[in-house]
Amino acid sequence: MKKSAYVLILGLLAWAQPAVPADDITLDVKEKVLSNGMTILVVENHIAPVFSTIVRFKVGAVDEHTRITGMSHFLEHMLFKGTKITGTTNYEAEVPLMERMDSLAALLEQERGKLRNPRANGSEERAQELRRQIADLQAEQAKYIVKDELWETYLKNGGSRLNASTGSDGTQYYVSLPANRLELWAFLESDRMANLQFREFYSERDVIRAERRQNTETPPRGLMYEALVATAHWSSPYQWSSIGWGTDIENFRIQDLRQYFETYYHPSNAVACIVGDVNADDVFALCEKYFGAIPAGLTPPPVFTDNTPQRGERRVEVEADAKPAAIVGWHMPQAGHPDVAALDVLSDILSRGRTSRFYKNLVETKLAAQVRASISFSRYPNLFTLNVTPMGNRSAEEVLENAFAEMDRIKTEPVAQWEIDKVRNQTDADFVRSLNSNGGIAGSLANYEALFGDWRYLIGYREEIKRVTPEDIMRVAKTYLTKNNRTIVTLVAPASDASAAGAGN
């Protein structure tokens, strides 16, 4: 067992002593790297007989490419579909059905390719027949499928907060359990890492496509965000959202899914964090027993594609039947860069709380309903963003003009020390609150370990926040928040509606 070389000054005991300053509280993280490269982090907290876990895979939308955008999110769903022993009453009977479906899907892909080519002799009738045959096989396979068996097993054993999420930089799976169910967790999680079966692949593909329509293609904010990242990131892997492009989802192939899973979802690309009423040595022994036998995979390739330098402001209009709004993005460095802390403090000075500059000068004056600045804390260079919602009949351009003026003022007039002190206090409060639960601690540790290869940067970054000066904030504002470095997306009424409105005046 490898134990951390020092006891980190953090805020772990916040759940027991919430009034204790963050700098006076300790967190003892024990860690071990299994023989197959899987990292295990443990924090013992014996206040209540429960524990929380997170398994973080170091894979997200940035690891995808056109044709397989959204694959990480799709696999998030598939990891709940069962294995050779869970989710089925007769795995052997399922195998030939799934193989037959895959063969028919390959034929359907060929037929659809012909239909997309005006000079090919494609047949929609043939495509429909292949879809019908796949549907028949799905119905037959359904006789053997035990829906949501993983969820039900956890719930029957006292599990709670069972969930998963996918972002651009990582995919994580959570659950909280009674202390005496540690071995059950190790068995179930190692089983779906080692023996995952892609049952219900074709039906789940349709579910994901519908999810995209509902959450990305319908809400105005979803349309705006997608337009922002696609326009700002000409060559960066952040060019698409984690759900992927619609046509990629429709055309996912089972062979691509298998290859993607084998490349990224293995022990040496995973971090498991367990926090609660556990003994670290017991955790390490169980992880070695269940996860240790899974072969280590090859180190996934890093992403080197970066944005080409932006040489001028970019503007996009998104038409929707909704109130005016705007999103602005400026290119900024990746997490770990020395300028990120200053940009983080700057974003809070601008928009966090009722004493922030945007609130006092834009919201209280009834110019805007909301103006929010935020940074990206990401694996590769990403965006500093500004979200604007005008008040009443105010225009997005009017709000943006005033918001940009506030930003420009920071470039020439140093911010007050009390503004920085306020942000530091808020950061400390956030930090303590994040450690008020086992799950919060597990999530923070796993995130920093996955992003930086060292969970200790959880503290290192906090120290960087404390060292930010007014001069640092002025410098990063001048460096990054420039006109030629920004992309502006505005939400406007559809052209026909605008024309009709003009005709009526």
Which pLDDT score is estimated for 26?
67
Contacts of 331 (CB under 8 A, 6+ apart): 232, 307, 310, 381, 382, 383, 384, 480, 485
Place of tokens 């074709």: 202
Which pLDDT score is estimated for 272?
98
Output the CATH code of domain 314-500. Answer: 3.30.830.10
Which pLDDT score is estimated for 502?
47
pLDDT under 70: residue ranges of the chain: 1-26, 497-505
Q: What are residue 44's DSSP bridge partners?
A: 276
Which pLDDT score is estimated for 2?
34
Residue 305 to residues 6, 67, 302, 464, Cα–Cα distance (Å): 37, 17, 9, 28
Residues 340/377, Cβ–Cβ less than 8 Å: yes
pTM: 0.91
Query: DSSP label at 390?
Result: E
Hey, is 289 helix, strand or coil? Answer: helix
Q: 55-208+240-290 architecture in CATH?
A: 2-Layer Sandwich (3.30)
SS3 content of the chain, % helix, strand, coil (to 5): 50, 20, 30
Q: Give the separation between CA 223 and CA 217, rounded to whole angstroms.
A: 6
Which pLDDT score is estimated for 253?
95
Domain segments of the chain: what residues?
A: 55-208+240-290, 314-500
Which pLDDT score is estimated for 368?
97
Which pLDDT score is estimated for 384?
98
Q: What are residue 328's DSSP bridge partners?
A: 386, 488
Residues 274/283, Cβ–Cβ less than 8 Å: yes
Residue 50 φ/ψ, nearest 5 degrees: -140, 165
Which pLDDT score is estimated for 505?
40
Same topology between domain 55-208+240-290 and domain 314-500 = yes
Q: What are residue 386's DSSP bridge partners?
A: 328, 373
With both helix axes pointing from N to C terminus, report the angle between 396-412 and 340-351 in degrees, rounded to the nearest 10.
130
